[in-house]
Amino acid sequence: MSAPPNEFYSEERWQNWLDRISDEDLDPEDEDSARLLLNLQDDAAIAVAKVVRAHDDGEIDADQAVEEVDDIREIVLGEVEFDDEEKELLVDDVQTSLVCVFYAAEEYVTGGPAEEAGVEEYVRAAADAEAEEDLDAALGYVVQAGTLIIDGEELDLTVAEELEYGLVSTWVNGLDSLQSAMSDPEVVEEDEDADDEE
């Protein structure tokens, strides 16, 4: 059975988060601000995880799953504008973190999990590629790690902590959200009503 449009995610849902961020006085060092940004990121990852799960359960085929993930990506990676440039940068970091989540989900539903290495090896290979300024290869390795996380392997966060700050560390942060989403797809749902209230 085909999933109804917007079942997994919607423009309105994303906008609700952006409105919340717009209303907040964000400080990345503040615990509440950090949690809000993490919830924004986790919520999108949960939507992707639900698409993958629907595919695995036979509710939608691979083409539908890719289309659903692409729809979520178009919503989440759209340009955002705030009066506060720092807020734009913080949300941009969230968007960057989620790039590999979308690609990993599409790769998983069309080709299955990677087979040539484990999560840690792919993450280290991505870091090496980034050091050599080969960002396409770096993203490819992180995406392969993501397919394994979807398949049930775990990301050892001590590996992430060893990474230099950059694109790979940001993408791996997204993989952490993906891992949480695959293990507990309802983690942000309890906050939804509170987030939507004015």
pLDDT digit string (tens) for 130-181? 999 999 999 999 999 999 999 999 998 888 889 999 999 999 999 999 999 9
Look at residue 53 in the predicted model and tell me its pLDDT: 94
Secondary structure class of 96 (helix, strand, coil): helix
Q: CA 85, 86, 92, 94 torsion: positive or negative?
A: negative
Look at residue 186 in the predicted model and tell me its pLDDT: 63
pLDDT digits (tens, 9 = 90+) for 57-106: 999 999 999 999 999 999 999 999 888 889 999 999 999 999 999 999 99
Would you place residue 196 in the very low, low, confident or very high pLDDT band (cuts 50, 70, 90)?
A: very low
pLDDT digits (tens, 9 = 90+) for 108-119: 999 999 999 999
Cα 153 off chain centre by: 17
Cα 63 off chain centre by: 20
Look at residue 179 in the predicted model and tell me its pLDDT: 95
Look at residue 185 in the predicted model and tell me its pLDDT: 60
- Does 187 score more than 50 pLDDT? no
pTM above 0.85, yes or no: yes
Look at residue 51 in the predicted model and tell me its pLDDT: 96
The span from the CA of 160 to the CA of 198, in Å, is 37
Nearest to 95 by CA among 75, 111, 112: 75
